[in-house]
């Protein structure tokens, strides 16, 4: 494992870093740091899911009912974050676009088509092969996503 951080408090430290990077990014582009933008970043960070704009908006309304954050702001902020490569959007086949923070450790997904459960995994061998393939095809790799669809152990029992 090449993870040299302590697990303890890792999450908070990473968030502070992320937040300050974000502030700097805003400053560089003459953009303003607003509560809404912070809440959106924070909510993305605290979610282990890949969120649709709508789901994200809903989460924010639940946690911050005082802030009447509009869906339009969520869209606008997500577009901003995506342009800045802070988040990436992916699709899980079915429908719609889902967003996740790009800063988190990379992982792939096993998706149960019965119960919808998502299990994450990382495989070094696959990561290596992906880089090798991208190199061969002279492709400058930025990110990747992989999903394995099937039936999880629990659902097989049924």
Binding site for a second copy (CB under 8 A): 88-93, 95, 97, 110, 112-113, 119, 121, 123, 125-126, 129-130, 133-134, 137-153, 156
Nearer to DNA, 114 or 154 (CB): 114
Cα dihedral: 6, 10, 14, 16 (round 10): -120
Q: Which is nearer to DNA, 38 or 127 (CB)?
A: 38
> What stretches of 29-63 show up as alpha helix (H) in DSSP?
35-46, 53-63
Long-range pairs, 30-33, Cβ under 8 A, ≥24: 31/80
Q: If contact means CB under 5 to 8 A according to the sort of partner, which of a second copy, DNA, none does residue 37 touch? A: DNA
- Pick what 153 binds: DNA, a second copy, none; C-beta below 5 to 8 Å, kind-dependent: a second copy
* Residue 74 near residue 60 (C-beta atoms within 8 A): yes
148: partner contacted, choices a second copy, DNA, none (Cβ within 5-8 A by kind): a second copy
Can you tell me the distance from the alpha carbon of 89 to that of 52, in angstroms, rounded to the nearest whole number? Answer: 9
Least Cβ distance, residue 140 to a second copy (angstroms):
4
Burial call 82-106: b when 16+ CB within 10 Å, e when fewer: eebebbbbeebeeeeebbbbbbeee
Q: How far is the CB of 45 from a second copy (least distance, A)?
A: 21
Q: Return residues touching DNA (CB under 7 A).
A: 26, 30-37, 52-54, 67-73, 75-77, 79, 95-97
């Amino acid at each position: 494992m090449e993870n040299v951080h302590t697990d303890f408090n890792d999450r908070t430290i990473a968030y502070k870093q992320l937040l300050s990077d974000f502030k700097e990014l805003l400053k560089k582009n003459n953009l303003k740091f607003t509560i809404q933008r912070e809440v959106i970043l924070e909510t993305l960070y605290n979610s282990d899911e890949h969120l649709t704009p709508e789901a994200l908006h809903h989460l924010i309304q639940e946690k911050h009912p005082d802030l009447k954050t509009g869906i339009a702001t969520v869209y606008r902020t997500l577009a901003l974050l995506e342009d800045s490569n802070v988040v990436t959007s992916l699709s899980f086949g079915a429908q719609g676009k889902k967003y996740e923070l790009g800063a988190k450790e990379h992982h792939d997904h096993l998706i149960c088509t019965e119960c919808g459960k998502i299990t994450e995994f990382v495989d070094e061998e696959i990561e290596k092969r992906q880089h090798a393939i991208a190199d061969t095809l002279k492709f400058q790799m930025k990110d990747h996503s992989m999903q394995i669809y099937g039936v999880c152990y629990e659902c097989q029992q049924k």
